[in-house]
């Protein structure tokens, strides 16, 4: 066992194997895989495949063996602990033809920790399992927990790095030990992987692709992904394998081209939040904001108030779920509710104007809809949503059939209402 060992060549491509029955059963979401993907990409290392296997030794051996055949560089997480379901080390040791040995340094360290914590008796034998290390392995120190990571390398330079499953320990070890080891020295010529996201809303994936025309099939030197969600369709541009200055200029160039085509639908970049964008625009124009919510039940208000500093723009609102509240607090005429029904553009408009009147805000936003799963009818099926904005007496409303389950319909509704405000603010 060596603590040092010559560091390997900087690596560009590798595979991930996440280990654990709980991952396959869906009780634990593989956040380790996601975190490794993001962190390694930022360091210019591409994950070309990610595999998840259960705790069985044979499955681990096969998955890691296959991955080694393909890339010669593999990171595993999970199964390093002291319990019998933790089979990662012996399974991979076998793959490298190495025996397991007790590492006295680790064993003593474990015993010392046990005593230092004032736990009774001596260290249980099962805990000593953690000190069993494959022959000629390199130890990756774990300052964040007890199970050390292991680095195994064969004479052809192919390697496996075994990290713990506990996400906090895995992240710590990656940053402290593994990343410096595999990323090599940072230099300006080092190839990187960089992405940029343009966030669009109010337009479907295929309409957006049509709008982008030939750009939709990719801008040379970049790849483009359409990522639809309840907030809208995100356009993610990625550049791989070029130095940072080149990557940055390619991304900026691609973003400019995409923005030019998709302009009115783009509300921001990267992790921009439409509520924050609307608040900023209101602040610049000196407008205050109030909400009147039926089917979203406060979701819009929650999104707005989740943004730090919203209080100088947002004054409050009314959750007008029952018709009686729409009438009494927002002055929606009873006859209008009778004639058009609560889910109608007329009622949405009356709610928006009503909330402006009671709060004195410059802008009133209203949402009323059928979130389902019950309550739909032939002319107003589940997903029918109406929303309206009253901006200093300029009133605009929309009606749309939203897709998705109850939660998605409500999220889409809040987003659509915010987008109408943004459009009206942009129009001046």
Contact call for residue 18 and ligand ATP (CB under 6 A): yes
Element (H, E) at 297: none
CA distance 155 to 177: 22
C-alpha separations of 264 from 14, 48, 255, 304, 363 in Å = 40, 35, 14, 22, 21
The single residue among 90, 165, 232, 364 that binds ligand ATP, judged by CB under 6 A, is 165
Q: Which is nearer to Mg ion, 33 or 81 (CB)?
A: 81
Contact call for residue 54 and ligand ATP (CB under 6 A): no
The single residue among 74, 166, 289, 290 that binds ligand ATP, judged by CB under 6 A, is 166
**Neighbouring C-alpha atoms within 13 Å toward the C-beta of 424:** 23
**28 interacts with, out of ligand ATP, Mg ion, none, CB within 5 to 8 A per kind:** ligand ATP
Taking the complex as a whole, the smallest distance from the CB of residue 86 to ligand ATP amounts, in Å, to 4
Give the residue from 385, 394, 384 showing the smallest Cα distance to 353.
394
Q: Phi and psi at residue 276, in whole multiples of 5°?
A: -70, -40
- Residue 12 corresponds to which tokens in the numbers above? 């560009």
Taking the complex as a whole, the smallest distance from the CB of residue 54 to Mg ion amounts, in Å, to 13
CA distance 356 to 364: 5
C-alpha separations of 47 from 12, 36, 406 in Å = 9, 8, 36
Q: Which is nearer to ligand ATP, 132 or 319 (CB)?
A: 132
Taking the complex as a whole, the smallest distance from the CB of residue 145 to ligand ATP amounts, in Å, to 7
Kindly state the DSSP code that residue 289 receives in the 8-state scheme.
Answer: E
- Residue 277 corresponds to which tokens in the numbers above? 């964008």
CA distance 387 to 327: 17
Enumerate residues 115-154 that contact ligand ATP by CB under 6 A: 147
Interface mask toward Mg ion for 52-81; x: CB under 5 A: -----------------------------x
Contact call for residue 59 and ligand ATP (CB under 6 A): no
**20 interacts with, out of Mg ion, ligand ATP, none, CB within 5 to 8 A per kind:** ligand ATP
Contact call for residue 372 and ligand ATP (CB under 6 A): no
Q: Which is nearer to ligand ATP, 78 or 372 (CB)?
A: 78
Enumerate residues 80-99 that contact Mg ion by CB under 5 A: 81, 86
Taking the complex as a whole, the smallest distance from the CB of residue 265 to ligand ATP amounts, in Å, to 35
CA distance 136 to 125: 23
CA distance 428 to 424: 6
Taking the complex as a whole, the smallest distance from the CB of residue 36 to Mg ion amounts, in Å, to 18
Contact call for residue 345 and ligand ATP (CB under 6 A): no
* Positions in the binding site for Mg ion (CB under 5 A): 81, 86
């Amino acid at each position: 066992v060596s603590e040092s060992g010559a560091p390997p060549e900087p690596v560009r491509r590798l595979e991930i194997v996440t280990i654990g029955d709980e991952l396959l059963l869906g009780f634990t979401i593989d956040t380790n895989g996601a975190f490794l993907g993001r962190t390694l990409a930022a360091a210019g290392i591409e994950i070309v495949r990610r595999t998840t296997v259960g705790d069985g030794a044979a499955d681990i051996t096969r998955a890691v063996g296959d991955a080694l055949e393909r890339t010669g560089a593999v990171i595993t997480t999970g199964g390093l602990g002291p319990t019998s379901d933790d089979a990662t080390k012996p399974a991979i040791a076998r793959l490298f033809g190495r025996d397991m040995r007790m590492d006295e340094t680790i064993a003593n360290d474990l015993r010392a920790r046990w005593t230092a914590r004032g736990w009774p008796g001596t260290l249980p034998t099962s805990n000593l399992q953690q000190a069993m290390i494959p022959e000629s392995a390199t130890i990756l120190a774990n300052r964040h927990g007890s199970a050390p990571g292991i680095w195994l390398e064969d004479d052809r330079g192919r390697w496996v790095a075994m990290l713990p499953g506990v996400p906090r320990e895995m992240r710590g070890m990656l940053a402290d030990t593994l990343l410096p080891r595999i990323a090599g020295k940072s230099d300006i010529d080092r190839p990187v992987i960089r992405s940029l996201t343009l966030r669009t809303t109010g337009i479907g994936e295929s309409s957006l692709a049509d709008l982008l025309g030939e750009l939709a099939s990719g801008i040379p030197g970049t790849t483009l992904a359409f990522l639809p969600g309840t907030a809208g369709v995100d356009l993610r541009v990625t550049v791989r394998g070029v130095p940072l200055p080149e990557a940055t200029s390619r991304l900026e160039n691609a973003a400019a081209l995409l923005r030019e085509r998709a302009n009115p639908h783009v509300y921001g970049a990267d992790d921009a939040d439409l509520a924050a964008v609307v608040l900023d625009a209101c602040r610049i124009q000196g407008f205050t904001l109030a909400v009147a919510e039926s089917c979203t039940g406060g979701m819009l208000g929650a999104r707005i108030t989740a943004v730090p500093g919203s209080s100088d723009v947002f004054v409050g609102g009314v959750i007008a779920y029952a018709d009686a509240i729409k009438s009494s607090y927002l002055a929606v005429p009873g006859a209008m509710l009778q004639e058009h029904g609560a889910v109608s553009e007329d009622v949405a408009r009356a709610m928006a104007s009503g909330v402006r009147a009671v709060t004195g805000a410059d802008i009133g936003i209203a949402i009323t809809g059928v979130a389902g799963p019950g309550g739909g009818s032939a002319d107003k099926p589940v997903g029918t949503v109406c929303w309206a904005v009253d901006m200093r007496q300029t009133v605009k409303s929309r009606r749309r059939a939203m897709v998705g389950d109850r939660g998605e319909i409500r999220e889409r509704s809040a987003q659509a209402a915010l987008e109408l405000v943004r459009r009206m603010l942009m129009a001046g």
